[in-house]
Amino acid sequence: MMHRPVVNFFQVASLVMLLVAVALLAAVTTMHFAIHGAEVQVPALKGMTVAEARSQTSGLGLDLDVDNRYYSADVAAGHILSQSPTPGTVVRREWRVRVAESLGPQKVEVPDMLGTDERVAALKLRRVGLDVGATARMPYGKAAEGTVLAQDPPAHAQGIAQPNVNLLIAALGDEAPDGYVMPDLFGMTFSSAQSALARVGIKTTPPKFVDMPVGSVGGAGTMPRLPVAPGSVIAQQPPSGSRVDQTTQVKLTLAK
């Protein structure tokens, strides 16, 4: 009779511990399904139409955002070119999947807008299905305020990436410039090119040197080709006529 209370105590304690363990296991299982049940894998969307991609992501509880449109000779217009996050990435539901849509091959010609008024240039672009991209203004005494001084891509350019054209616009003489036209540096020495750019606060990266073949002396009736002087600029990036500012890093290639 003296041992029964002890036995009962251990039985009750064991039962309590079992119930606690079951409760903990249930809580862990519930948390696991609550966390992982809200996760999905991002599907592969490349090549789908935007409508197909939107339907598939919506079914998984994801949001689709078309944030860019590019020309492409390989992917048909209205289909997905690229996506972020990449296929197979595990994300939570309601995650935003960003995609780029193909515009198909470039079929429009970039118009020549140099010397035209900014508003006229915008109308010319819209007429052919293009948009005004980034604009910069620079004081320029030889043109009226609002005149287009440079454009990128240039007129009649082929193989452009996006349906946007960046413009450099003439501003009043007392306005602070927010951009410049990239000059043609071909044939200049590196120090001269660097000095010209430094005057407006634009820096260059360390130059790249390449070997230049010796030019032909020419045949009868042909003028010989002058050799390129060692240390002179033979290529530049961005190209001349592009819009640049103090954040631009100019890359120069020099003749060795």
**Cα–Cα dist 8/50, whole Å:** 69
Kindly report the average pLDDT of the chain as a whole number. Answer: 82
Structure tokens at 75: 């992917």
* Residue written as token pair 């249930």: 26
Quickly count helices (H) and strands (E) in the chain. Answer: 4, 14
Instruction: Provide CB contacts within 8 A for 153, sequence distance 6+.
Output: 110, 160, 165
Residue 33 pLDDT class (50, 70, 90 cuts): very low
Residue for token digits 């119930």?
19
DSSP states along 92-147: ETTPEEEEEEE--S--SPPPP-TTSBHHHHHHHHHHTT-EEEEEEEEE-TTS-TTB
Stretch(es) of the chain classified as CATH 3.30.10.20: 39-102, 180-214+228-255
The predicted-structure confidence for 198-225, as pLDDT tens digits, reads as follows 877 889 999 999 887 655 545 555 544 4
pLDDT, tens digit, 9 for 90 and up, residues 78-128: 999 999 999 999 999 989 999 999 999 998 999 999 999 999 999 999 999
Torsion of CA 50, 56, 62, 68, to 10 degrees: -20
What is the widest separation between alpha-carbon atoms in the chain?
A: 131
Q: 118-171 — its CATH code?
A: 3.30.10
Q: What is the pLDDT of residues 76-90, one digit of tens each?
A: 999 999 999 999 999
Residue 172 to residue 182: CA distance in whole angstroms: 20
Residue type, 79: H
Please determine, looking at this structure, whether the domain spanning 39-102 carries the CATH number 3.30.10.20: yes
Taken in order 192, 198, 202, 204, the sign of the CA dihedral is positive
Task: For domain 180-214+228-255, say whether CATH 3.30.10.20 is its number.
Answer: yes
CB atoms within 10 A of CB 147: 20
